[in-house]
Chains A and B, each alone.
Chain A
Amino acid sequence: MAKKKIVAQADLARIETVIAEYQNERWALLPLLERIQQEFGFIPPSSIGLIAKGLRLFPAQVQGVITFYAQLYTTPRGKNIVRVCRGTACHVRGGKTILKLVKRHLGIQEGEITPDFEYSLETVACIGCCALAPNMVINRNIYGRMNPKKVALIFGQHGRQ
């Protein structure tokens, strides 16, 4: 617990430097939030006040933008982000079953993190690789033409199940 706090403090200092870079840019809020998330994996709620101050906005405005966009997170995510595509082509080719199986393999629901912070499970509306449907993405690797056996094998490789 104590360790976590120290990290959080160091983060805030770093976040302040990042904010400074964007202070004079026009319409900087979204790019800044994306940058913070890129660096820390999520946007620490404690940084919202700093961001608002830096960009001369109300904290509610910052909070409003964060909650509006699905890809902005205020909680940490797993080390590996597993995203199962729920696009039309994937749906038509059985993406629903793939999601069900991945949930079973990881033991979590979508939007959740495994207790060891190893995996986050998310769904995505479409990754645009419809020809390979059904698809799954782990971090930046796309796994196409998924089937139940592949799910078992992939999570076997990733040291689970």
Chain B
Amino acid sequence: MVEEKATVSTNGQHTILVCRGSGCPGSDEILRRLEEKVTQNGLPVEVKPTGCHGFCQAGPTVIVEPEDVFYCHVSVDDIDEIIQKHLCAHEVVNRLLYIDPVTGQAVPHYSDINFYKKQERVVLRNCGHINPERIDDYLARGGYLSLRKVLFQMTPGQVIEEIKKAGLRGRGGAGFPTAVKWELCRNAPGSPKYMICNADEGDPGAFMDRCILEADPHSVLEGLIIAAYAIGASGGYVYCRAEKPLAIERLKIALRQVKEHGLTGDNILGSGFSLQLDLREGAGAFVCGEETALMMSIEGRRGMPRPRPPFPAQSGLDGKPTIINNVKTLATVPIIIDRGADWYAGIGTEKSKGTVVFALTGKIANSGLVEVPMGTPLSKVIFDIGGGIPRGKRFKAVQTGGPSGGCIPARFMDSPVDYESLTKLGSIMGSGGMVVMDDATCMVDIARFFLNFTQAESCGKCVPCRLGTRQMLEILTRITEGKGRESDIETLLNIAKTVKECSLCGLGQTCPNPVLTTLAYFRDEYEAHIKEKKCPAAVCDALMISPCQHTCPVGINIPKYVAHIAAGEYLEAVETIRERNPFPAICGRICHHPCEGKCRRGELDEPVAIRGLKRFAADWYFEHIGELPEPEPFPQTHSQKVAVVGAGPCGLSCAYFLAQMGYPATVFEALPVGGGMLSVAIPDFRLPREVIQREIDYIAKRGVEIRYSTPIDVNFTVEGLRKNGFEAVFIAAGAQRSQRIGIPGELEDLEGFYYGLRFLRDVKVGKSVRIGRRVAVVGGGNVALDSSRTALRLGADEVSIFYRRSREEMPVTEVEYNEALAEGVQVNFLVSPTRIVSDKWKIAGLQCTHMRLGEPDDSGRRRPVPVSGSEFFADADTVIAAVGQAPDLSFLPPDSALERTRWERLVVDDNRLATNVPGVFAGGDFVFGPGMVVEAIAAGRRGAIAIDKYLKGDTSRVEIYDLKPGIIEEVISREEEETWEPQFRPEISRLPVEERKQSFKETELAFSEERARQEAKRCLRCDLEK
């Protein structure tokens, strides 16, 4: 719904600003068409081309003044509508307005858009408001008045003093005080002196300087002339890299104009001060951004840095005193002169004054140029201005300073942005690139990417840099290809240190930063690549066949089974799934599907509905089971018997894969039913019990023996199993002990008080459970949601969830959450109960406190902290506590030899899942605490592989790779046309809400055959790219 606030001025002159920055391709044509149409219709409208507005994400952009309406993603075809509707009929064209990514609301006015509203634009003051090719526009906004002031009212010493008082530091990255440098040069003997503007912005991911030069070149030139006056320079250069043709073009125009206006050349404005200003183009050498290399390049030589001192301020270009300043530094100078040092020094922090300009890019909703006061927290830049991470992904890290900078992990998102704070985190301010990364970014790959760049750009003068970058690149490449060695991390650290300490220039001194910071903050990712041959972000091509398969904890060949579905070969699809997962129907319903999060199709429009397809194939199988050949037991090829404790998903998977490998496997289950947590805790409306039973039956038919009602306990111990001829035991007893909330009044005997797990189990086995009218559920996970929805179905009038964090931290899928909400469950975020209030052993309600999100923890999740004085009372007659579960080790006799941790868990080797007792293995929730079902299945499979190795006397690590198929899969031809248009995935149908609330019938319905095949064809077949 568009909130219509925009009023369109019906009389007087309109001005249309059209962005013509490099970031708005196609704007030339828009401009032409607008001019043509305005003339044709004889409208009193001025069409004005401008430079970059900074909001490149929304480009091409058009702003209509005076009403300040902002149109984004404008194409030539939209021009007629803007003319007809806005300029003739005085109505806003709603469909072209900017939609706020957070609120989903259209924002008509330029100045109301968060991206602009929360910035403070000092350096970018003119960008987007003036025509950069007309000096008159700049003059009209007070341009060159500062130069006049300097030339006629101030001595060079006073200029330097003013800049010193303002506290301006070099914006090129190192942050050296500008005035100190100027003073040094002014006092240095030698003549002529030179003033150079360094516009050789070459950091990948940085485009601030380019935008300023394209949008407001005169502010830079004015700053340069003032600086030249201050240091007494008579020669000046602007050194701009050739890769920015538009900036060069505009600079050339601006340089011609200043000459024509007498602002450069001899005797400027009659002041007696002279400056010859010239433009030099770089020719594609990154190192020329380094000041000594830059001067070499201007002199027409190979741009190689030289040692300092002597500093350029003493001996620079041609051996004469020279000052080199960054574009942004110079663009700031005129405004300091104009508004005064005190005003400027009032912005920013104590040591870092003024504002900082960032090029905000990467995985961020609003990319573009951002200017904020120094000291602004990173989180404000990323979330308030940048609009956060798109596509519901998680913020992982931010890279500042380009190849010289480092990656700052999410947990430091509240750090202020200033020179000192960034250095402390191992990064640098640099020229101002800020690349945001989400969980689909591999940090090893990022380090390799930067090294690849610096390795190529190293000029080769210093041996540590030339060879060190090469070595580091080779090691990183090897790691990303799965050929990493254990010693690689140490070697990397060593080389990085040497390169840092032994290189002459900034390039060498800082190029190890990306490696060092990723190693410091994301060492686990390096280890996953080296030890497990896994890329957690599913980026490193060499380690995988397709991102979905690589991300799947059990490694199902997803592209293959999806292709089988597309081809109508459903049995083959199910068999493909069962190679890695014996529970297709269960996972087709309740898997949290991390695969879909990495699906490449998702970058295009929406990820393939992988889970829905799995369910379709599995349901088809069980519907046609009568017509299909009866599953045969796997042939037994080994005689060693293996026992598995617990018939949950982890235990059954382990037994299934052991049977597949030819071992006789027996599962011991305490309950009369199998399925573990699936059977006792997941309500029928999410996972009907027949579905579980059919999958267990299938596993039994493949030769797994399951003994129900046979608990392992003090009488029948794990050690006893060994004595009974089982050569290996796998314990997968799950996590079945409900954790206490740990607040006063939490007494199990209270009437109306339940622990979630127990509550769900009692309902599921058909016990009569008394539920009140107002139910309060404490917690935010699956059990909490399932309990709430179950309570509603049992007739509660009102069900409220109390969760101490926010939606973002809830470990439940979108589907579950939305279903619960639709059914009427109320969720109170950032609320934590402090006491359970009861009256005569009956629940009366919950005493609660509001929470707020505080500092981020190590994982980047913000910790909830109580808001003092915010206590309140919530009425309730039933309280269900669902704040987590833990393994229950009580079945192990106290004298068991199995080693435990302080937290009552078994000590287990992560890789082989082996306990301290040879032949006894353990995995799943029992060891790692409550997790997702597919993770339990993965642990079961790992256990089976480890046991196989153990029984064969193989002591090596378990290595589970995505093996490339030996033969190339038959390509399934895609029938539909390739189009530009996105094709979205079909909605999965559900029972109507009213029907849902009355029964425990399954809420989610399967795809129809036609839909499933259609959907399967959206797969991009990443596996065939190899």
Query: What residues of chain A have their CB less than 8 Å away from a CB belonging to chain B?
Result: 27-31, 33-34, 61, 64-65, 68-72, 86-94, 96-97, 100, 124-133, 140-144, 147-150, 152-153
Stretch at the interface among B199-207, B905-913, B958-966: B199-207
Among A34, A72, A131, the residue within 8 A (CB) of B368 is: A131
B847 at the interface (CB under 8 A from A): no
CB <8 Å contact, A69 and B283: yes
CB <8 Å contact, B283 and A71: yes
Q: Which residue of B lies closest to A83 (CB)?
A: B243
- Taking the closest CB of chain A, its distance from the CB of B512, in whole angstroms, is 17
CB <8 Å contact, B205 and A89: yes
CB <8 Å contact, B25 and A144: yes
Residues of B within 8 A of A131 (CB): 23, 56-57, 59, 361, 367-368
CB <8 Å contact, B284 and A89: no
Q: Which residue of B lies closest to A57 (CB)?
A: B300
Q: How large is the interface on B (under 10, 10 to 19, 20 to 34, 35 or more residues)?
A: 35 or more
B298 at the interface (CB under 8 A from A): yes
- Taking the closest CB of chain B, its distance from the CB of A50, in whole angstroms, is 16
Q: Can you identify 8 A-B contacts, CB atoms within 8 angstroms? A: A30-B281, A34-B283, A68-B459, A128-B207, A129-B22, A130-B362, A130-B433, A133-B361
Among B201, B245, B300, B1020, the residue within 8 A (CB) of A148 is: B1020
Q: Which residue of A lies closest to B304 (CB)?
A: A68
Among A70, A125, A126, the residue within 8 A (CB) of B283 is: A70
Residues of A within 8 A of B205 (CB): 87-89, 126, 130
CB <8 Å contact, A31 and B280: yes
Given contacts A89-B205, A129-B25, 12 further A-B contacts (CB under 8 A): A29-B300, A30-B281, A31-B281, A34-B281, A89-B361, A125-B243, A126-B202, A126-B204, A126-B205, A126-B206, A130-B206, A133-B361
8 Å CB interface, B416-454 against A: 433, 435, 437, 441, 446, 449-450, 453
Closest 3 CB pairs of A and B: A131-B56, A71-B284, A128-B207
Residues of A within 8 A of B459 (CB): 68
Query: What residues of chain B have their CB less than 8 Å away from a CB belonging to chain A?
Result: 22-23, 25, 56-57, 59, 201-207, 210-211, 242-245, 280-286, 297-303, 359, 361-363, 367-368, 399, 402, 433, 435, 437, 441, 446, 449-450, 453, 457, 459, 541, 600, 603-604, 978-980, 1020, 1025
CB <8 Å contact, A65 and B980: no
Residues of B within 8 A of A61 (CB): 301
Residues of B within 8 A of A147 (CB): 603-604
Residues of A within 8 A of B298 (CB): 27, 30
Residues of B within 8 A of A100 (CB): 1025
Complex: how many Å from CA A29 to CA B302? 11
Q: Which residue of A lies closest to B403 (CB)?
A: A88
Contacts A132-B25, A147-B604 given; indicate if A127 touches B300 (C-beta within 8 A): no
Residues of A within 8 A of B453 (CB): 86, 125
CB <8 Å contact, A140 and B284: no
CB <8 Å contact, B300 and A68: no
Q: Which residue of B lies closest to A32 (CB)?
A: B300
CB <8 Å contact, A30 and B300: yes
Among B203, B284, B402, B446, the residue within 8 A (CB) of A72 is: B284
Complex: how many Å from CA A143 to CA B25? 8
Complex: how many Å from CA A112 to CA B433? 31
Residues of A within 8 A of B57 (CB): 131
Among A71, A128, A143, the residue within 8 A (CB) of B22 is: A128
Complex: how many Å from CA A69 to CA B281? 12
Residues of B within 8 A of A144 (CB): 23, 25
CB <8 Å contact, A149 and B362: no
CB <8 Å contact, A34 and B242: yes
Complex: how many Å from CA A140 to CA B541? 31
Residues of A within 8 A of B281 (CB): 30-31, 34
Q: Which residue of B lies closest to A70 (CB)?
A: B284
CB <8 Å contact, A132 and B56: yes
Complex: how many Å from CA A81 to CA B543? 33
Residues of B within 8 A of A126 (CB): 202-207, 243
Q: Which residue of A lies closest to B288 (CB)?
A: A69
Residues of A within 8 A of B457 (CB): 125
Residues of A within 8 A of B297 (CB): 30
Complex: how many Å from CA A68 to CA B284? 9
Complex: how many Å from CA A89 to CA B363? 8
CB <8 Å contact, B204 and A88: yes
- Taking the closest CB of chain A, its distance from the CB of B249, in whole angstroms, is 11
- Taking the closest CB of chain B, its distance from the CB of A155, in whole angstroms, is 12
Complex: how many Å from CA A152 to CA B1020? 14
Contacts A72-B283, A141-B25 given; indicate if A94 touches B603 (C-beta within 8 A): yes
CB <8 Å contact, A125 and B204: yes
Q: Which residue of A lies closest to B541 (CB)?
A: A96
Residues of A within 8 A of B362 (CB): 88-89, 92-93, 130, 133
- Taking the closest CB of chain B, its distance from the CB of A68, in whole angstroms, is 4
Complex: how many Å from CA A106 to CA B1025? 16
Complex: how many Å from CA A150 to CA B980? 7
CB <8 Å contact, B441 and A92: yes
Q: Which residue of B lies closest to A33 (CB)?
A: B283
Complex: how many Å from CA A27 to CA B205? 31
- Taking the closest CB of chain A, its distance from the CB of B295, in whole angstroms, is 10
Residues of B within 8 A of A92 (CB): 362-363, 435, 437, 441, 446
CB <8 Å contact, B284 and A93: no
Complex: how many Å from CA A87 to CA B450? 9
Q: Which residue of A lies closest to B437 (CB)?
A: A92
Complex: how many Å from CA A72 to CA B242? 11
| A28, A30, A100: residue with the most chain B Cβ atoms closer than 10 Å | A30
CB <8 Å contact, A65 and B300: yes
Q: Which residue of A lies closest to B23 (CB)?
A: A129
CB <8 Å contact, B441 and A88: no
Among A93, A97, A153, the residue within 8 A (CB) of B363 is: A93
Complex: how many Å from CA A127 to CA B446? 19
Q: Which residue of A lies closest to B57 (CB)?
A: A131
Complex: how many Å from CA A70 to CA B437? 29
Complex: how many Å from CA A115 to CA B300? 34
Residues of B within 8 A of A96 (CB): 541
Among B25, B202, B242, B600, the residue within 8 A (CB) of A125 is: B202
Residues of B within 8 A of A150 (CB): 980
- Taking the closest CB of chain B, its distance from the CB of A142, in whole angstroms, is 4
Among A28, A65, A142, A153, the residue within 8 A (CB) of B301 is: A65
Residues of B within 8 A of A153 (CB): 978, 980
- Taking the closest CB of chain A, its distance from the CB of B306, in whole angstroms, is 15
Contacts A86-B204, A128-B207 given; indicate if A28 touches B300 (C-beta within 8 A): yes
